[in-house]
Amino acid sequence: LFFVLGCPEERSSLNYETTEFRADRVILLGRYRGPSIIQHHHVLSVVDTLSLTTFSGLSGAPVFAWIELPRQRPKLVLCGMMLRGTPQSGLVHFLDRDVLLDALTVKNQLEQQEK
């Protein structure tokens, strides 16, 4: 079982008069469809689009897997970062977590060199 955790634009609002910002978080459940034709990208089919008309605002949202194995505690695993998708297609494309971890490693190395 996979899921995307984020705040879609259509469920967020900014009230300039009261300077209040509201962002409702949603969980999109999905099933793994396989690797994309683009290297380091993967595709999920969304189980329920929650009546969203667009996935705008979910780009950058984390994609997790919930893994249950016999006689073990369930594990929550970061799988990547959502890039794009539409409720109409029922698909979500996400970037593999290894790319994110590599980017963080490079950033950390550059910061160490600057010190």
pLDDT tens digits for 45-68?
999 999 999 999 999 999 999 999
**pLDDT at position 13 over 90:** no
DSSP-assigned states of every residue in 41-91: EEEEEES--TT-S--TT-TT-EEEEEE--TTS--EEEEEEEEEEEETTTTE
Helix (H) or strand (E) run with residue 20 in it:
strand 20-23
pTM: 0.86
Which of 7-21, 27-41, 89-103 is predicted least confidently? 7-21
